[in-house]
Amino acid sequence: MFDTIHHVAIIGSDYARSKHFYVDQLGFKVIRENYRPERDDYKIDLACGMTEIELFVIKGAPERPNYPEAQGLRHLAFKVADVDATVKKLNQQGIKTEPVRLDTFTGKKMTFFFDPDHLPLEIHE
């Protein structure tokens, strides 16, 4: 019934900071970007392989209730070829990461880092 994930939506609070993080630092390509005057917000669609990330930037959006166990989306995980190399690149850009560890069930390397609004993001081999 379902083929794949079409997109994941993220809400950020600061246009310049969120766009810089996802586009300049993480390297996602902008597919389209729109300002919606009726909502006074931005919607930036980003390419992540065959999946899209919808980045909504909404002034005054409420903060995430707690970390990481709020109901709903727990975190967003990205598959990478080499966790250690990705961590090094993130750290060189000033993005802090948790220590690399092995996934208990898959035995693969993984770790977490956070977007500017504290959304947990994972990288996983």
Question: Are residues 50 and 78 part of one domain?
Answer: no
Q: Print the domain residue range for 100.
A: 74-125
Question: Are residues 81 and 56 part of one domain?
Answer: no
Strands 101-102 and 109-114: antiparallel
In a domain, 67, yes or no: no
How does pLDDT run across 33-75, given as a tens digit for each residue?
999 999 999 999 999 999 999 999 998 888 877 766 777 778 8
How does pLDDT run across 3-34, given as a tens digit for each residue?
888 999 999 999 999 999 999 999 999 999 99
Q: Residue range 110-124: average pLDDT?
A: 94
The C-alpha atoms of residue 80 and residue 16 are separated, in whole angstroms, by 26
Query: What pTM was estimated for this model as a whole?
Result: 0.88
In a domain, 88, yes or no: yes
Report the number of distinct structural domains present in the chain: 2
pLDDT at 107: 95
Q: Residue range 73-85: average pLDDT?
A: 92
Looking up tokens 């560890």 gives 101
In a domain, 9, yes or no: yes
Question: Are residues 53 and 17 part of one domain?
Answer: yes
In a domain, 109, yes or no: yes
